[in-house]
Chains A and B, each alone.
Chain A
Amino acid sequence: MPAPIRLRELIRTIRTARTQAEEREMIQKECAAIRSSFREEDNTYRCRNVAKLLYMHMLGYPAHFGQLECLKLIASQKFTDKRIGYLGAMLLLDERQDVHLLMTNCIKNDLNHSTQYVQGLALCTLGCMGSSEMCRDLAGEVEKLLKTSNSYLRKKAALCAVHVIRKVPELMEMFLPATKNLLSEKNHGVLHTSVVLLTEMCERSPDMLLHFRKLVPQLVRILKNLIMSGYSPEHDVSGISDPFLQVRILRLLRILGRSDDDSSEAMNDILAQVATNTETSKNVGNAILYETVLTIMDIKSESGLRVLAINILGRFLLNNDKNIRYVALTSLLKTVQTDHNAVQRHRSTIVDCLKDLDVSIKRRAMELSFALVNGNNIRGMMKELLYFLDSCDPEFKADCASGVFLAAEKYAPSKRWHIDTIMRVLTTAGSYVRDDSVPNLIQLITNSVEMHAYTVQRLYKALLDDISQQPLVQVSSWCIGEYGDLLVSGQCEEEEPIQVTEDEVLDVLEGLLVSNLSTPVTRGYSLTAIMKLSTRFSSVNRIKKVVSIYGSSIDVELQQRAVEYNALFKKYDHMRPALLERMPIMEKTASNGPTEIMQTNGETEPSVPDTKHLPLVTQPANQANDLLDLLGGNDVMPVIQTTLPTKPASAGGELLDLLGDLSLTGGPTVVPAPAPSVPVSQPPFLLDGLSSQPLFNDTSAAIPPMTAYSKNGLKIEFTFERANPNPNIAVITIHATNTTEADMTEFVFQAAVPKTFQLQLLSPSSNIVPALNQGSVTQVIRVLNPQKQQLRMRVKLTYTHKGSPVQDLAEVNNFPPQSWQ
């Protein structure tokens, strides 16, 4: 068999292919040749074949059949073989394949090889892709090499140790003795990797952190030497000596100085020195300054130093280099919470960055601007931000609109300003606003009673201009429906009143109904608005006509509404005025309500999360999983409990909060109910319960209560109600009482239902069931039963009684038929 073609020749050949198909053909041919060569166990050319295979792998073709060959190469005695073998292992293998464990023995032998380059190969491979098992087996060898005097091996061993610690943190202790004199090395490679190793250990273990704090003086000295030392050709980068090492030391100092006054004091001088003396004309110098600023802001530095740091960031903001501006904005974003006032001083520069051409910078500037908005600067900032909203790319509009809403809600100087601002957003970025902005705005308008006339007038005018922006149209039609009488009467204190007739208003609303631009939801809004005007306007006949036309609409939603409104005209005309009355002021349950911190089921108030993105259903996840595990149920749906995101209490705009809200799909909203008896297109039913609307008791068909559980002195009773407006929802209130003489504390009630149902558990009244029936714990469960199947439930109860924890599982099957029919 002729010798396999050489690597370079293969590369050349493949590059001559003119089409993808041609290339594939060549590759397949070559793969076949390589495969047969592998089968023949050809030692001489194995290396060449694997190298070719690696090339083809890079082009995107499968190369898994070469994995074992890599292992054979590693086991070979030839250095060339080993080199390619290890490279192949790093490219083709990872800890997912069992094959990789076969390498362990080879690596072990190579770690003890006589040639340092072979040892280096082994360390490199282990340090790049070693799995936890391999690391456990070979940690001892790595530790040995960490103590060698050969700096080439020592630096590799240090980074290999870092990898081992990352994979198997328990092995950290093992490397402690070897770190003793790592920092006294002269070799920069060893120094750098040692600092990385120390950093890794300190980050992972508070004990290690305490232990290594004593190294601060030594680190300061090394850093000082680097700065003061003369020119060293091998480490110099644009006049700075070994910037990589400098930055790494600064980072370790940051970790050591955090929350420790003494260490922070020890580094104050050197930080000030670096901050003032570093050359800033090139990127290198700025990289060091950047790290210095981050360190200063993170440790307990004196205030003078902090001001210096912020000023450096301020100078960065004015730098011509985009990268530096970006980095400055990012750092300011990190520090805006803690040093709010200092950052405020640079507000105008930050706002100017909104006009930057670069997309990354614009985004950062926008985030930072929102963080800087406060009661004092709201008017000015909002002007800039609205201008930005007008002119920015679509990818920003949604975030910006949300940010504006939140900022306006927090700091609006007056209601009129607030409404104007929201209207401006709706007119400029209407199609990008979040779905819940419509209900929020409606609630806001309802609550600002004195502004009704002004608002409806402005909205009407906006409608005349443009009916394409759906959120705006929806809000406008709602308002006209509610306050149409004010519009027509021409009373308005704030502005020049306009003359509008009833017919004109109805024309506009009917126009919405027929327009192609209106979505079904919008049509629903306008139909309802027209209906409401029947009690506020005098031209009832016209309204009756419109409503009856839509009684045969193709859109089921519209048809249902129209038919029900028709019924209102005909059979229930006496109820019409009462039903279509003005909406009362709604209670605010918006997601940023500062006081509503609802307790989750049995858990104490969750500590302010550092991850400010709080998706709606994460916290009870482990509880639900426990329940599922216990019940082993694949036919059981987990409990969906609701938690309100707690508002992290910090000044100056929770920026991440703003963005966190964006990921909440269907956050708690207040559903505007234009006419209580008409089913409105609903947000997911599960969130209905969060608004404080009273549930209508269906007194005409009372469902008898039942005892669901009674054991060991704990008795749980279920009482039932039907929830309006959805008759498929049964509302169960549990009452837990305790007949024993000791309280049951930490009482947690969990429930699971079969798949066809949906369950929602609201928060309990408390988690202590007092002894001797002195009181009870109540909790509301809502069950959606669209298929009207027989209700079954499994419950899990946990509590502590007389000091010992008690857990029990039970099935509840004796539901009265009325509860689910």
Chain B
Amino acid sequence: MLRFLLLFSRQGKLRLQKWFTPVTEREKKKVIREMTLMVLARPPRSCNFLHWRDLKIVYKRYASLYFCCGLEDQDNELLTLEVLHRYVELLDKYFGNVCELDIIFNFEKAYFILDEFLMGGEILETSKTAVGIAMEEAETLQEVTPPPPPPPLTHTHGHLSLTHLPKYVNMFSVLFTDNGGVYE
């Protein structure tokens, strides 16, 4: 079984952590620190496998994110590379051309997808489409909160002034998904 799955950026910032065994907060921090140090120190074209304590560590880099997991002795490392790849594919299907920012801003969705794919350190579902279907159906169950009331418009010379409409001029606008923004 997998013991843990971590996602972190090139700068070592954690983006997702899933632990499949009970671990204290202190120990978690220690493991995260050691994983980031070990993996980020690896030269670019090295082997994707490491040995650490009594675990095998498998890691793979996708764009700016490192996916790193700890395996037990019996587990198949080559297959775990496929597992990581499958997870990325699922994220990609769901978000459409997933990038790190998607995972930052929608981390809870990344967790939900992970929970439909793995459970207790083992693979739950091997079908590519089943996970996506489950996510879609679950979303329909989500209760939508009422959208925020629009800010009041000031009237100048009887015309509608558009100057006070909220302008989302930041570069993240393109990433907001349009599903009613339940948690926003």
> A144-165 vs B: 1/0 string, CB under 8 Å?
0000000010011001101100
Q: In the docked arrangement, what's the CA distance between A351 and B86, Å?
A: 35
Which B-chain residue is minimally distant from A79 (CB atoms)?
A: B141
Residues of chain A within 8 A of B172, CB atoms compared: 12
The closest CB in chain A to the CB of B74 belongs to A251
Decide yes or no whether A324 CB sits under 8 A from chain B: yes
Do B112 and A83 touch (CB < 8 A)? yes
Could you tell me if B22 and A9 are in contact, using CB atoms closer than 8 angstroms?
no
Given contacts A128-B20, A188-B127, contact A360 B81 (CB under 8 A): no
For the complex, give the distance between the alpha carbons of A627 and B14 in Å: 48
The reply to whether B126 and A244 form a contact with Cβ atoms under 8 Å apart is: yes
Q: Decide yes or no whether A237 CB sits under 8 A from chain B.
A: yes
* Chain A, residue nearest B13 (CB): A59
Q: Which of A193, A245, A322 is B124 in contact with, Cβ under 8 Å?
A: A193
Contact (Cβ within 8 A) B124 A189? yes
Residues of B within 8 A of A234 (CB): 127-130
Distance in angstroms from B99 CB to nearest chain A CB is 15
Verify B120–A160 contact, CB threshold 8 A: yes
Select one of B49, B81, B105, B141 contacting A11, CB under 8 A. B105
Give Cα distance in the complex from A159 to B126, angstroms.
Answer: 14
A193 and B183 form a contact (CB under 8 A): no
Chain B contributes a number of interface residues (CB within 8 A of A) equal to 58
Chain B residues within an 8 Å CB radius of A245: 126
A90-108 at interface with B (beta carbon < 8 Å): 91, 94-96
Within 8 A of A (CB), among B164-184: 170, 172, 176, 181-184
List CB contacts (< 8 Å) of A317-336 with chain B: 322-327
Q: Are A247 and B76 in contact (CB under 8 A)?
A: yes
Query: From residue B24, how far is it (CB to closest CB) to chain A in Å?
Result: 7
Give the residue name and chain of the B residue nearest to A288 (CB).
B79
> Taking A189-B127, A245-B126, A283-B82 as contacts, is the C-beta distance between A162 and B23 under 8 angstroms?
no
Shortest A573–chain B CB gap in Å is 60
A243 touches B79 (CB 8 A): yes
Q: Are B143 and A79 in contact (CB under 8 A)?
A: yes
* Identity of the chain A residue whose Cβ is nearest the Cβ of B14 in the assembled complex: A58
Q: Are B141 and A117 in contact (CB under 8 A)?
A: yes
The complex places the Cα of A186 from the Cα of B94 at a distance, in Å, of: 26
Q: Which residues in A have their C-beta under 8 angstroms from that of B10? A: none
Distance, CA A233 to CA B93, complexed state (A): 15
Chain A neighbourhood of B184, CB < 8 A:
6-9, 48
Q: How far is the CA of A162 from the CA of B123 in the complex (A)?
A: 12
Instruction: Say whether A244 contacts B129, CB under 8 Å.
Output: no
CB neighbours of A48 from chain B (8 A): 183-184
B40 at interface, CB cutoff 8 A: no
CA distance A171 to B123 in the complex (A): 22
Contact A244 B78 (CB under 8 A): no
Is A358's beta carbon under 8 Å from chain B?
Answer: yes
Contact B143–A322 (Cβ < 8 Å)? no
Question: In the complex, are the beta carbons of B119 and A360 less than 8 A apart?
Answer: no
CA of A156 to CA of B123, assembled, Å: 10
Q: Would A8 and B181 count as touching, CB distance under 8 A?
A: yes
A-B contact pairs, 13 of them (CB 8 A): A8-B183, A79-B138, A79-B142, A83-B108, A83-B138, A84-B108, A124-B119, A128-B119, A243-B82, A287-B76, A322-B45, A323-B49, A323-B81
**Chain B residues within 8 Å of A, Cβ to Cβ:** 14-17, 20, 22-24, 29, 45-51, 74, 76-79, 81-83, 86, 104-105, 107-108, 111-112, 115, 119-120, 122-130, 134, 137-138, 141-143, 145, 148, 170, 172, 176, 181-184
Binding site for B on A (CB under 8 A): 3, 6-9, 11-12, 15, 44, 47-48, 51, 54-55, 58-60, 78-80, 83-84, 87, 91, 94-96, 115, 117, 120, 123-124, 127-129, 131, 152, 155-156, 159-160, 162-163, 166, 188-189, 192-193, 196, 233-235, 237, 242-245, 247-248, 251, 283-284, 286-287, 290-291, 294, 322-327, 358-361, 363
10 A-B pairs with the lowest CB-CB distances in the bound complex, closest first: A287-B78, A6-B184, A322-B47, A287-B79, A189-B125, A79-B141, A159-B119, A234-B127, A94-B22, A163-B120
Other than the given A87-B112, A323-B78, 14 more pairs (CB < 8 A) read A11-B104, A12-B170, A80-B143, A87-B108, A94-B22, A117-B141, A160-B119, A188-B125, A234-B129, A243-B79, A287-B79, A291-B76, A326-B77, A360-B50
